[in-house]
Structure 1
């Protein structure tokens, strides 16, 4: 059913839903548009509406081939909407759901596109703050790029910042998607451009591996991994590409590359990746006993059991359906330092070559237990054999003793004078 959005736009059909609102296929004075209609509770927040209007100039000024341009911002009664360019294609999450992982050449080309979009945004003083596959659109009507990739465009600029108002967060909440949050956000520091680089490197890792480096399980456990764990190597990834991933996943923001540098370095990698097939790796085990103890996060909604098997972003909204309503953007309490320090330190969720057990996994532990039982049984047999041998040796010594040899230690009777 069509509905009017302001005086210039008409929304005809729902294209998708997210945590911040609903995306509609719409019509404007200049033709088809995409209209992101924010939730009514956001539209009724006067402080948020004020910030929405303040961001108008920055959002409308972002004009880049790898950014979905915002054409207009509408504030009309209970309607708060961003009017954007319509991209004929799909989002990167849908592509991942279909293919699980991409060939390195295509993954790097898509990531380079997004990095170039981020470079333009950062130059304009805009930080995205919610880079993830759901916010990357693939233009299916444009020419194909390296590895058969479609041009990637980053969307939803400014939405995270609009939602993250002081009244709403009180400096003690985390706004974002757990799998892609930079450590400094988890520690409660203000987000800078480097948080987008960390999130984009996480996306690149996911495109290559089929799962995120620190995701899986309770969101509190995910947050702790970002702060305390090092990223595990991916078997089969070229060393130079891996070094880029590691550098952009550095815990210290200053150690990460800038968006323009990352884009250039990724483009340099493309010739060496041509024709390389997707990596053949197994994702970390999903047994709950492999997960470290979760950090309790009051106010966060636990993931649905069926959703936990999906190793990308953790859905935190009840009823979210992976194929239509990927609602992963949430507000969580900032964990205390002692909570982040808990648990094992080192390399978490270690990927491995296909078919190989992961150290610490249930399968690996079962194998280790069986091995220990076999060794213990062998030790018992050896100990028993040693005991028998000692008994036989002792018995032999007794048999050789002379029967006339006195064995009593009692003193001899005195002789007669």
Structure 2
């Protein structure tokens, strides 16, 4: 079989010593195999050079072989470092080099972990960042630049205690270089060396590799880890490179205390970029805050619902319970295992649901979205909608929609938050749902329990619909009880926790009432995230348990708040108990009752 086939090596013995067992993974430089060292009777990882085209020019083959040798040499120079994968040897077999490395049983790379589990909490990202920074710094002190820092090159392996991701190791020095040693460069100066989307702007424009460029790539990696996507990811490699050079990164939503670190690392000008020493201090502060203990406050069991406001829609709303904590931004999605031991994860950030292609032809009707949806007028941005689902099961079949112009006459299921124009019905059907998903992602990420709904024009109603797809955000398990996002008016009392978002600043007038206020002025509490209570917990019981659950699941030290100055808060409402989600909103406030203001902490 040709070199590079994923199964071509199983059962082969390399250099008379290493029996290839199975393929572990691969990248641009080669395949990585699990192998048995027959001499020492242990398992190792072998990296095989790969040539996809047997007719590849000899000069390029020589360059890639030389790069493999350089990788082994550079990584071996960092042998023994706790955060660098150990390289044991480099050997030749059938004229090609193989790199013998330590095998990390149970390891997963950061890219795969994010794909499986979603974004990480800021504190966990800071821990990973500290380890990678330590490895990079050790290399920089030896004059070795990595040049390809990205999630796929960070391995998370079990530590000695058995923690599944306790060890953090940087790997793949395949395109690293020692610029001050005069060693041969194995890539053309005009070529982009690195991974698009993680490449520093000065490298994308042809500048020399520097330690600062590695730090920029680290910033992109940490951004991806905490936000769930790379800061400059676009639809094409060219667009991504252009974004790296000319655009600011997307405003982070989940980063919390990590946000200033990301801002410093992603500075375009390498001369103004945060230094390794500064990054280390900031990350260490997030991982190990000044105080390891934090106060727990109790919910007032006699308190009334905080959103007991006159609104025909709003059921009795909830009781706030101080406790729960976090940072002034937001944690990642709901924890996979939450209070009460429930195994179900809520739809935080939301799955997507599209009506494209689900409508009947409509019998020649010019109804914008087809007869089944039932609307005779096109949707407008900000419209609150009530959805009737076939059989009463949400997000099953095609809903019949009605507009609630007041967002209060009925309990709205959601709201129109964006539109996607199209040149034809076919384009709307093919591209509308994906573009709606992108346009509403930030809002959905900031709400606790929502899903997206793309309402695509019917073939005969394309013109009547304004030649565009309507992008809705709906409650995943029940109504949202009011406007969402920037449609909420400052000063308005919340009717239900369903409309509370991460980063919301609250004015707490009493234990019965919380109002949305601007974060530029003083405020009493800041929404950090969400957790949920067990199925057997009643709403009355939640008022006693919410503070403790929030303090446990959304601790302030994860988000940079000093636990000696701040405490957690919690708000509940009747809506999550009617839907069965038992969601609790977690906030942070000052212990002394003083107001907060600006970009805290």
| TM-score bin, normalised by smaller chain | 0.5 to 0.7
Aligned with 1:108 (options 126, 130, 134):
126
127-136 or 266-275, which deviates more:
266-275
Aligned to 1:73: 90
72-81 or 243-252, which deviates more:
72-81
CA shift for structure 1 position 87? 1.0
Q: How does 1:382-397 map to 2 (within 5 A)?
A: none
Alignment TM-score, normalising by the size of structure 2: 0.44
Aligned to 1:401: none
CA shift for structure 1 position 43? 11
| Alpha-carbon contact 2:122-2:331 (below 8 Å) kept | yes
Higher RCO (Cα < 8 Å, 6 or more apart): 1
Aligned to 2:361: none
CA shift for structure 1 position 210? 0.6
Q: Deviations over 1:370-406 (max 9, x none)?
A: xxxxxxxxxxxxxxxxxxxxxxxxxxxxxxxxxxxxx
Q: Quote the Cα distance in structure 2 between the aligned partners of 1:268 and 1:351.
A: 30
Q: Deviations over 1:282-316 (max 9, x none)?
A: 69x9x9x89xxxxxxxxxxxxxx99xx7xxxxxxx
Aligned to 1:278: 331
Distance 1:5 1:161, change over 3 A: farther
| Alpha-carbon contact 2:70-2:174 (below 8 Å) kept | no
Aligned to 1:220: 238
Aligned to 1:243: 260
What 5-or-longer segments of structure 1 have no aligned partner?
291-304, 310-347, 369-417
CA shift for structure 1 position 134? 0.9
Q: Secondary structure in 2 aligned to 1:253?
A: coil
CA shift for structure 1 position 48? 3.9
Q: How does 1:219-368 map to 2 (within 5 A)?
A: 219-235=237-253, 237-238=255-256, 241-272=258-289, 276=326, 278-279=331-332, 352-354=442-444
44-53 or 250-259, which deviates more:
44-53
| Alpha-carbon contact 1:194-1:258 (below 8 Å) kept | yes
Distance 1:6 1:256, change over 3 A: farther
Aligned to 2:206: 188
Distance 1:100 1:26, change over 3 A: same
Distance 1:132 1:43, change over 3 A: farther
CA shift for structure 1 position 352? 3.3
Distance 1:253 1:350, change over 3 A: farther
Q: Deviations over 1:334-375 (max 9, x none)?
A: xxxxxxxxxxxxxx9997343789xxxx99x9889xxxxxxx
CA shift for structure 1 position 86? 0.8
| Alpha-carbon contact 1:181-1:226 (below 8 Å) kept | yes
Distance 1:350 1:71, change over 3 A: farther
206-215 or 136-145, which deviates more:
136-145
CA shift for structure 1 position 249? 0.6
Q: Which has the higher helix share?
A: 1
Q: Secondary structure in 2 aligned to 1:175?
A: coil
Q: Secondary structure in 1 aligned to 2:145?
A: coil
Distance 1:143 1:268, change over 3 A: farther
Alignment TM-score, normalising by the size of structure 1: 0.62
CA shift for structure 1 position 161? 5.2
Aligned with 2:76 (options 49, 57, 60):
60
Distance 1:11 1:234, change over 3 A: same
Aligned with 1:19 (options 25, 28, 32):
28
Aligned to 1:298: none
What 5-or-longer segments of structure 2 have no aligned partner?
1-9, 293-324, 334-347, 353-417, 422-429, 448-453, 456-467, 472-601
CA shift for structure 1 position 257? 3.2
Q: Quote the Cα distance in structure 1 between the aligned partners of 2:18 and 2:281.
A: 39
Q: How does 1:38-49 map to 2 (within 5 A)?
A: 38-40=49-51, 45-49=61-65
Q: Deviations over 1:196-244 (max 9, x none)?
A: 1111111111111111111020111100110111123323543x53111
Q: Deviations over 1:113-134 (max 9, x none)?
A: 1111111111121111111111
Distance 1:352 1:55, change over 3 A: closer
Q: Secondary structure in 1 aligned to 2:155?
A: strand
Q: Quote the Cα distance in structure 2 between the aligned partners of 1:49 and 1:149.
A: 32
Distance 1:161 1:350, change over 3 A: farther
Aligned to 2:227: 209
Q: Which has the higher strand share?
A: 2
Aligned with 1:36 (options 33, 43, 47):
47
Aligned to 1:84: 101
Aligned with 2:218 (options 188, 191, 200):
200
Aligned to 1:157: 173
CA shift for structure 1 position 104? 1.4
Larger Rg belongs to: 1
Cα RMSD (Å) = 4.0
Q: Quote the Cα distance in structure 2 between the aligned partners of 1:355 and 1:102.
A: 13
Aligned residues: 303
Q: Secondary structure in 1 aligned to 2:238?
A: helix
| Alpha-carbon contact 1:12-1:24 (below 8 Å) kept | yes
| Alpha-carbon contact 1:65-1:153 (below 8 Å) kept | yes
Task: Say yes or no: does 1:176 pair with 2:187.
Answer: no
Q: Secondary structure in 2 aligned to 1:255?
A: coil
Q: Deviations over 1:12-54 (max 9, x none)?
A: 2111122221110012344211111011368962344345445
| Alpha-carbon contact 2:63-2:187 (below 8 Å) kept | no
| Alpha-carbon contact 1:160-1:176 (below 8 Å) kept | no
Distance 1:56 1:160, change over 3 A: closer
